Chain A
Amino acid sequence: MALVDTLNAWHRKVPTWPFYVGFALIPLWWLYLGLTGGLGIEPIKELEHRLGELGLQVLIASLAVTPLRRFAGINLIRFRRMLGLVTFYYIALHLLVWLLLDVRILSQIWADILKRPYITVGMVGFVLLIPLAMTSNTWSIRRLGPMRWRRLHQLVYLAAVLGGLHFVLLVKGWQVEPLIYLGSILGLLMLRLRLPRVFLRA
């Protein structure tokens, strides 16, 4: 398992801060593109969709950390907090674009949140991420204790399913892409189910 060993050795050496910086810059780059005509004919929707999709991708990456360690022996645990916080950053920006650039009409925003299932689902998913982002630091883990902290952070499973569902519900017709996202999320969650020993031994 040379590849796994290399990855694990790399994991210990590489710092996380360049990832924070890199991921944080992407939306700023997109904003620049949007202001200069680089996001196509309908830049508001493009920015909104890109932020939502990248948020889901990073969320899926964070959900993959545990299965990768368990089934492939690849340890990326040091990056998990970064992936979680970056997810929150993108989804918060996605929401802000919807509020401040897309809809803007306060009465319609409220009506949408209450009446439109895909928006309701997306909002609930985002709200669930707030306590997770607030406690994604070492001080909170100590304060809550590892057991309670872990229980709290299992909320991400529900938030991820709601995020995938949000995508599936909003498209018109039968489209594969959102189903791939939701399928990946459900698949990664199923890998966490406790398998009977028979399966593990085989």
Chain B
Amino acid sequence: MAGRYRSDLNWSDVTPKADFLSRRRLMAGAGALAVGAMAGPAMATLSANGFTTDEKPNSFEEISGYNNFYEFGTGKDDPARNAAALTIDPWSVKIDGLVDKPGDYAFDDILGGVTLEERIYRFRCVEAWSMVVPWVGFELADLLNRVGVQSGAKYVAFETAVRPDEMPGISRGYLDWPYREGLRLDEAMHPLTLMATGLYDQPMPKQNGAPLRLVVPWKYGFKSIKSIVRISLLDQEPPTSWNMANRREYGFYSNVNPEVDHPRWSQASERKVGGGLFAARQPTLMFNGYEDQVAGLYTGMDLRQNF
């Protein structure tokens, strides 16, 4: 819910579409707020509110030039090369399942009901590389509360757009499209769970999942589904793409965990992208460094079993 992270900005600040798409004004405010939060005595890894890391963010070019988005190809530079063809205006998200107000929500309409803010999060790919990303977005909980989650709902399922004409990877069949992801409802409602619409002072680049993507910073990157067109509230665990592709390697939870290796490689360390030819690996942190915030969600669960 808006207000769990204090911000003096609201929708009235960004009413014109040109403004909220460029977000320069908003960022100035949120940036000042983040600096304030970081000026505390201890230079802890996380700022006082626990949400924004003080590590140096990767550059816009690194974040938008090196990533996975298999709908546009499997190479790390394929999304940047191919995503320009994606039509993101108009865009609507179908919200259905166990909700009070199901329907097709236009992107502008979704933005109208939320407060945008900056969150600088660590991002850890399951392939053992990582970045630090200054996202702009709103808490998923804001949207879910607005549409009214019914009492029987236990999970949230997400789907990415499928546009064979705009996404060259679709016809190559790398995965069983549409790309699907899911969260347990308490994970989805957690204040760290973000619906991102931009990064730095830019609208979300298409290759990073424009116009609307999920960011779950304590889970491996593939959980943070891009270019979302459907959100469903369900009473049971939804199928998720990488789990469908390889059940043994990619679990439903996929929490970042240095002690549980991927069957084909170690998850104990990672290399932060952008360090050049001589960059050393760094140790991977439990829950990607968000252990204090999210470990409680998994009390009593065997994380080796529920990887």
Contacts from A to B (Cβ < 8 Å): 31, 34-35, 37, 39-45, 47, 101-105, 108, 111-112, 115-118, 169-176
**B271 close to A171 (CB less than 8 A):** no
**B281 close to A173 (CB less than 8 A):** no
**B74 close to A175 (CB less than 8 A):** yes
Q: Which of A105, A111, A118 has the most CB of B within 10 A?
A: A105
Complex Cα–Cα for A33 and B224 (A):
33
**B281 close to A104 (CB less than 8 A):** yes
**A172 close to B127 (CB less than 8 A):** yes
**A43 close to B172 (CB less than 8 A):** no
Label chain A's interface by main secondary structure: helix
In-complex Cβ contact of B175 among A101, A102, A173 (8 A): A173
**B76 close to A42 (CB less than 8 A):** yes
Assuming the contacts A116-B265, A117-B264, A169-B264, asked whether A174 and B173 have C-beta atoms less than 8 A apart, the reply is yes
Assuming the contacts A112-B266, A171-B74, A173-B70, asked whether A42 and B129 have C-beta atoms less than 8 A apart, the reply is yes
Q: Which of A31, A34, A103, A170 has the most CB of B within 10 A?
A: A103
CB distance from B75 to the nearest CB of A (A): 9
| 15 CB < 8 A contacts A-B | A34-B276, A37-B276, A40-B66, A41-B65, A42-B76, A103-B281, A111-B266, A112-B265, A112-B266, A170-B264, A172-B74, A173-B74, A174-B173, A174-B245, A175-B174
**B66 close to A43 (CB less than 8 A):** no
CB distance from A115 to the nearest CB of B (A): 8
Complex Cα–Cα for A101 and B280 (A):
7
Complex Cα–Cα for A44 and B127 (A):
14
Complex Cα–Cα for A55 and B74 (A):
21
B66 closest partner in A (C-beta)? A41
Q: Quick one: CB contact mask for B72-109 with A, threshold 8 Å, 1 for yes?
A: 00101100000000000000000000000000000000
In the bound complex, residues from chain B placing their C-beta under 8 Å from that of A35 are 277
Q: Which of A34, A41, A105 has the most CB of B within 10 A?
A: A41
In-complex Cβ contact of A105 among B62, B264, B276, B281 (8 A): B281
Contacts from B to A (Cβ < 8 Å): 61-62, 65-66, 70, 74, 76-77, 127, 129, 172-175, 245-246, 261, 264-266, 268-269, 271, 273-274, 276-281
Complex Cα–Cα for A95 and B61 (A):
29
In the bound complex, residues from chain B placing their C-beta under 8 Å from that of A104 are 280-281
CB distance from A62 to the nearest CB of B (A): 27
Supplied contacts A101-B278, A173-B70, A175-B174, 11 more A-B pairs, CB within 8 Å: A34-B276, A40-B66, A40-B76, A41-B61, A41-B62, A44-B279, A103-B281, A104-B281, A108-B266, A111-B266, A170-B264
A34 closest partner in B (C-beta)? B277
Complex Cα–Cα for A42 and B74 (A):
15
In the bound complex, residues from chain A placing their C-beta under 8 Å from that of B70 are 173
In-complex Cβ contact of B174 among A34, A116, A173 (8 A): A173
In-complex Cβ contact of B274 among A41, A47, A112, A171 (8 A): A41
CB distance from B137 to the nearest CB of A (A): 23
Complex Cα–Cα for A42 and B266 (A):
19
Complex Cα–Cα for A117 and B261 (A):
13
Complex Cα–Cα for A9 and B128 (A):
51
In the bound complex, residues from chain B placing their C-beta under 8 Å from that of A34 are 276-277
In-complex Cβ contact of B264 among A37, A102, A116 (8 A): A116
CB distance from B31 to the nearest CB of A (A): 24
CB distance from B304 to the nearest CB of A (A): 16
